Amino acid sequence: MNYIAKIREKSPFIYNITNEVATNFAANGLIAIGASPAMSNTPKEAEENASHADAVVLNLGTLTEDRAEAMLLAGLKANEKGIPVILDPIAAGGTKFRTKVINELLEKVKFAAIRANAGEISVLGGALDIMKSPDSTVESIDPKIAQTVAKEYDTVVIATGKTDVITDGTRMSLCNNGHTMLQNITASGCLLSSLVGPYLSVAEDLYEASVEVTAAYGIAAELAMKKAEGPGTFIPALLDQLYLLDQETVNTYKKLQEI
């Protein structure tokens, strides 16, 4: 399937409740791939925005009480309308407030996908106690832990790191695309979580679309580093490569392994 052409043809509306560190970068990345983003954090708009959306992305960075309320309202409304909801449980386990909100969301909202770094998925899978910061303390995850989380929440898990693990609890793939420079900029994972939105909005199979977006993003980063000199030039180069990306390039460069 030509995901990128489909996204550009449909220009899906992606409603993001996200953190202020990632907001501008994620909105620009979504536009670059061909989607139409909205970033809004107030509970007063959450249900209406969610009901018009093609996908809803809930990102737990810079969490506030207002944002937690907005996320629950948006998630429930999207579930009611059959719109895919994506969770980015930043720094899961880091504080009591954060853990309570993540647990409540996981209990009440059905997520189409959870995208998080290896450490955060390890916390959700009970293999690690806390994440002190949004950065992962685990370079890559044991695929079995990602599988446990996918089964427990009946969702697709995208656990990122040096090697990304994507699983729906039954099927499982490893992705080796990407570049270490993604670790030298903030919100690289947040942008990937937002990009899962347009991919799932055009998907026939949520797992396949999740594998695809993970590879596509990693390839865009690899191509960006052919032009960039460091983090400062990498950010605009990554946006350029998302804008220039086509399905043929993704098919040529993807490094995927089914396990």
Ligand X SMILES: Nc1ncnc2c1ncn2[C@@H]1O[C@H](COP(=O)(O)OP(=O)(O)OP(=O)(O)O)[C@@H](O)[C@H]1O
How distant, in Å, are the alpha carbons of 122, 123, 130, 151, 152 from that of 126?
6, 5, 10, 13, 11
Q: How far is the CB of 130 from ligand Cc1ncsc1CCO (least distance, A)?
A: 15
Contact with ligand X (CB under 6 A): which of 9, 65, 135, 248? 135
Q: How far is the CB of 139 from ligand X (least distance, A)?
A: 6
Does 228 bind ligand X (CB under 6 A)? Our answer is: no
| Gap between the Cα atoms of 174 and 258, Å rounded | 6
Does 148 bind ligand X (CB under 6 A)? Our answer is: no
Contacts of 85 (CB under 8 A, 6+ apart): 55, 56, 57, 58, 74, 75, 78, 79, 109, 110, 111, 112
Does 241 bind ligand X (CB under 6 A)? Our answer is: no
Contact with ligand Cc1ncsc1CCO (CB under 6 A): which of 62, 95, 137, 140? 62
Does 210 bind ligand Cc1ncsc1CCO (CB under 6 A)? Our answer is: no
Q: How far is the CB of 8 from ligand Cc1ncsc1CCO (least distance, A)?
A: 27
Q: Which residue's Cβ lies closest to ligand X?
A: 189
Annotation: binding site:
39, 115, 160, 187
Q: Which segments are annotated as binding site for ATP?
A: 115, 160
Please report, as ranges, the residues that interact with ligand Cc1ncsc1CCO according to CB under 6 A. Answer: 19, 21-22, 61-62, 90, 134, 186-187, 190
